[in-house]
A and B are shown apart, each in its own frame.
Chain A
Amino acid sequence: MDRRSGSTVALIHISATIGIVYSCQAAHNPIAYKEGAMIERNTLKPTRKSLMKSDPALFSAMVAVWISFAIFIFLPLLRLVMTTFVIDGTFTFENMKEALGKSYHIKALYGSLILATAVSISGTILGYIFALAVTRTTLPRVFKVLLGGVTILPLISPPFTSSISLTLALGPNGMLLKAFGIENFMIYGFLGTWISETLTYFPVAFMVISAILNTMSANLDDAALSLGASRWRMFRTVTIPLSIPGIGNSVLLLFGASLADFATPLILGGHSFPVLPTEAYLMITGMFDLRGGASLSFLLLIPALFVFLLQRLLIGKKSYISVTGKSGARTEFAKLPRELSMVIAVVCSIVVAFILYLYAIILWGSFVEVWSVNNSFTLRHYEYVFKHGRKAISDTLIIAFLSTVIGSVLAVIIGYIVQRKKFIGKRVFEFSSLLNYALPGTVVGIAYIIAFNERPILLTGTLSILVAAYVFRYYATGIRSVIASLEQIDPALEEASLSLGASSTRTFTHITIPLIIPAVLAGMRYLFIHCMTAISATIFLVSVRWTLLTTRILESMTELQFSQASAFSIVLILIVFIADAIMFYLLKLSTAKFHKPQEITNEKIGA
């Protein structure tokens, strides 16, 4: 019964994806170009004509995307707002007043802001260091592969798993503290949460920034060096400024992720360091207070909006175009000064060693009879996982696969529209697309149940609700990296293709797509990983029909089955690691292809 209805839903989603691809191609159809006379660069102001007439393809794509926003972003939010602000049919601030009236909640607001700021800064710095190590140093290839592999470990495991091993390492009586004889180190509070979230989220920064570093034109490096700049000066005046879009995106993503994360502070925050999502979660799950929890989470929208605007200002109107198709032969990136490379190598080694140590704890835990009491080897826990967890494994894979495909297609459309098109309400459009991501998952989860539990859109208990929750929450990275990538690509490349007579579809598939593919794949990796590991929204959406690996792990944790939870985590990590390796390989392939702009220009445009 499960499977049959499951495949129906799957089929529907696949057909929907095809539909979106259609509108995506349509969206790219820049009619203006065809009409030769009115070549419209996106730097020009929009014409006064109605959008429908000037660019019908864009118009139809916009309508389609707005409809999906209306259903999966605005409707749940609206229902949630009504739950928060409407009591017995009248609008009231009572719930909000009550939530804000408590000093503990104000403390939580500050806590959230401080934590998110700290994590976005430390995570971006660490991510930048790792990205430099991989793209701009002469460190051995093996070391770079190790960095790439190890950094995704924190990302591909549910955040609470690493929090637990962090507690075992640095918590009271922790193994590392004992080994180094450190006393009175208190992991519960800001410090532990900050360390854990930095380790969990810096790989996002690493992915976003290294994608940017990889797609810069190495010719600029050559130019700087041949004009007599030192390597230091080149790094300061070429590499860093060109990576600003990546840094900006990384800060925004990390700030948002930290702001919405409830699992880590739940385990490591302790009572002295409250944050808003945790407080909201506690109110909803503990006090049965949906209204209070919703009110608290509305406070989170303010910092989210603030960061979004800040990022706009930061990147501003400066031009970061470095891939123009006009450059000469592609050369290697210039390497960083040696002293800097050494520092980078040391920092990376320490972080990698620490991460490996944390995961060794989990691996070890999955093979022992009883954690820290009976350390004899057993495969018992894996037997349990494959016997009782099979459904969770296959459900999770189906959900993650569908979400990744649908999410990345949407991300390309939205990213393209936002970066290449001018239209009224663009900021609103972009912000709307990121709204579910900015909201804490707990709230999205609750909003989804409230909104989709009644006809006409009855989705509770289905595959669709889980897929929709993931897609509209985690395609954010995809959108951001598509935008960041397009920001570096001169529209002249597309114009050249069009003016040389290639059709708009051909231009999109042969010029734009190949150019942004590294960014799309980077976004896909993140989306897939999130669909496999995220829990905050979907813990409310799993049903007796569709369940997830992460909820099984959390279950095992709360049932004190540490070994079983570890075995589940290891299986999950392996699955994600393999899938991710495939995507990483594809990314490599596409970047390699992209690294020869000469060929692209000749072959694709000249055709």
Chain B
Amino acid sequence: MNTLRKAVSLVLLVAFCASSAFAAGAQEQVETGGTLNVYSIMPEKYATTIFEEFTNDTGIEVNFVRLSSGEALARIIAEKGNPQVDVLWGGPADTYEAGILEDVFAQYVPSESQEIPARFRSPDGYWTGIGVIPLTFMSNTAFLEEKGLEPPTSWNDLLDPAYRNSLQMADARTSGTATERIYSLVQALGEDQAFEYQKKLHQNIQLYTKGGAGGAMPVATGQAGAGIFYIVDALDIQQQGYDLQISYPKEGVTYGVEAAGIIKGAKNLSAAKRMMDWASTERLGQVMVENRINYIPTRPDVTVTNPALDMSKVTLLEADASWKGENRSRFVERWIDEVVQQ
């Protein structure tokens, strides 16, 4: 009796362990060609809308999970032996550059790629730009009035003691928005001056947020006075009805290129290629404009209706993705050592 029971329990336990593995295998085989699995770094609400339009146009169903750029890359690297998704959608191009070094992206040149300016796509076809987002200052109107300030128009305006403990901006260890801020400063002021500047700026910082948009809500609700964000995040919260000022520094800002690319070893390769092709057409830009998704389309032939996305009066600084990729970790370490720990 006991021996029997012992045997039964052991067999079942082994079955428990083994079956999970088989179940996983079985699950994969059910996969069909008409679906696409995606990690989206682009916020969920935008991705939902864009993928719905993609499904309408192509009949390909999209399953996706939204992750931050760091998480997405960490997962793709960890899943290298057995990729769980076919496409990485959204997120700054320098994330893709870091991924190329880990050999996780496949090369593919989408059908209408030549219509996209070369600085918005990978020279080797690893990623294609799907939107452009400059950095911007965003400040709370009530805060400015209370302190008797004008919306900041220079990086130096933010050093004003009136902003003491009132700035929220992203943490360079987690956020692409924050590294973009460092790139902007290095391009506008020179590297050493950029870090000198940030040491002074640190005095006015209330909190470094983990996500790039993390400080936007506090600025909107008056918890913080101002911050530095990507235009897409700033406009998004302004569109919700908060009283906010958007302004640009006269010294200039760099911009992020939001990209998309195919994962090496993608299980639904043809569907993945169709998504990249679709993303290189005018259609993507039109979907963004129609749905007030405030990326500046990478296709110059898409007409942008929102005046806030008119960049003709803004000083835009050029910084290519490979320069960003090469300098990223060094800048972040300098930022930790010199700015946060001072």
Chain A interface (Cβ within 8 Å of chain B)? 1, 4-5, 8-9, 12-13, 15-16, 18-20, 22-23, 25-26, 29, 31, 56-57, 60-61, 63-64, 67-68, 71, 102-104, 167-168, 171-174, 188, 266-267, 270-271, 282-288, 290, 370-374, 388, 446, 449-450, 453-465, 468, 539-540, 542-545, 547, 551, 555-556, 558-562
Q: Which residues of B contact A18 (CB under 8 A)?
A: 12
Chain A CB within 8 A of B19 CB: yes
Q: Which residues of B contact A562 (CB under 8 A)?
A: 217
25 interchain pairs, CB-CB under 8 A? A9-B23, A12-B19, A12-B20, A16-B15, A19-B9, A20-B9, A23-B12, A60-B5, A68-B17, A271-B340, A285-B74, A287-B70, A370-B241, A372-B221, A373-B220, A373-B240, A373-B241, A374-B241, A449-B78, A453-B81, A461-B27, A461-B84, A464-B23, A464-B24, A560-B216
Q: Which A residue's beta carbon lies closest to that of B71?
A: A285
User: Is A544 a contact of B38 with CB atoms below 8 Å?
Assistant: yes
Chain A CB within 8 A of B288 CB: no
Q: Which residues of A contact B206 (CB under 8 A)?
A: 172, 188
Contact among A285, A449, A453, A544 for B37, CB-based, below 8 A = A544
User: Is B82 a contact of A282 with CB atoms below 8 Å?
Assistant: no
Chain A CB within 8 A of B85 CB: yes
Q: Which A residue's beta carbon lies closest to that of B6?
A: A60
Given the interface pairs A5-B30, A172-B165, the reply to whether A454 lies near B38 with Cβ below 8 Å is no
Q: Which residues of B contact A283 (CB under 8 A)?
A: 173
Proximity bits, B48-84, A CB within 8 Å = 1, else 0: 1000000000000001111010110111011101101
Q: Which A residue's beta carbon lies closest to that of B98?
A: A288
Max chain B Cβ within 10 angstroms of own Cβ: one of A25, A31, A57, A453 = A453
Chain B contact residues (Cβ within 8 angstroms of A): what range? 35 or more
User: Is A544 a contact of B85 with CB atoms below 8 Å?
Assistant: yes
Given the interface pairs A104-B336, A286-B174, the reply to whether A540 lies near B71 with Cβ below 8 Å is yes
Contact among B37, B45, B71, B222 for A561, CB-based, below 8 A = B45
- In the assembled complex, the CB of A496 is this many whole angstroms from the nearest CB of chain B, namely 23
Chain A CB within 8 A of B25 CB: yes
Seed contacts A60-B10, A373-B243, A543-B84; 5 additional CB < 8 Å A-B pairs: A171-B223, A172-B218, A388-B48, A464-B20, A544-B65
Contact among A1, A61, A371 for B9, CB-based, below 8 A = A61
User: Is B13 a contact of A68 with CB atoms below 8 Å?
Assistant: yes
The CA-CA distance from A437 to B79 in the complex, in Å, is 24
- In the assembled complex, the CB of A88 is this many whole angstroms from the nearest CB of chain B, namely 15
User: Is A5 a contact of B336 with CB atoms below 8 Å?
Assistant: no
Given the interface pairs A13-B16, A104-B340, the reply to whether A560 lies near B84 with Cβ below 8 Å is no
Chain A CB within 8 A of B253 CB: no
Contact among B44, B82, B210, B233 for A453, CB-based, below 8 A = B82
Q: Which residues of A contact B43 (CB under 8 A)?
A: 555, 558-559
Q: Which residues of A contact B27 (CB under 8 A)?
A: 5, 9, 461-462, 545
User: Is A290 a contact of B78 with CB atoms below 8 Å?
Assistant: yes
Chain A CB within 8 A of B311 CB: no
Chain A CB within 8 A of B341 CB: yes
Q: Which residues of A contact B30 (CB under 8 A)?
A: 1, 4-5
Given the interface pairs A171-B223, A558-B43, the reply to whether A56 lies near B6 with Cβ below 8 Å is yes
Contact among B8, B207, B216, B217 for A22, CB-based, below 8 A = B8
Q: Which residues of A contact B75 (CB under 8 A)?
A: 449, 540
- In the assembled complex, the CB of B239 is this many whole angstroms from the nearest CB of chain A, namely 10
Q: Which residues of A contact B78 (CB under 8 A)?
A: 290, 446, 449-450, 453, 540
Q: Which residues of B contact A370 (CB under 8 A)?
A: 240-242
Chain A CB within 8 A of B89 CB: no
Q: Which residues of A contact B297 (CB under 8 A)?
A: none
User: Is A23 a contact of B63 with CB atoms below 8 Å?
Assistant: no
Q: Which residues of A contact B340 (CB under 8 A)?
A: 104, 271
Chain A CB within 8 A of B107 CB: no
Q: Which residues of B contact A270 (CB under 8 A)?
A: 207-208
Proximity bits, B306-342, A CB within 8 Å = 1, else 0: 0000000000000000000000010010001000110
User: Is A458 a contact of B16 with CB atoms below 8 Å?
Assistant: no
Chain A CB within 8 A of B227 CB: no
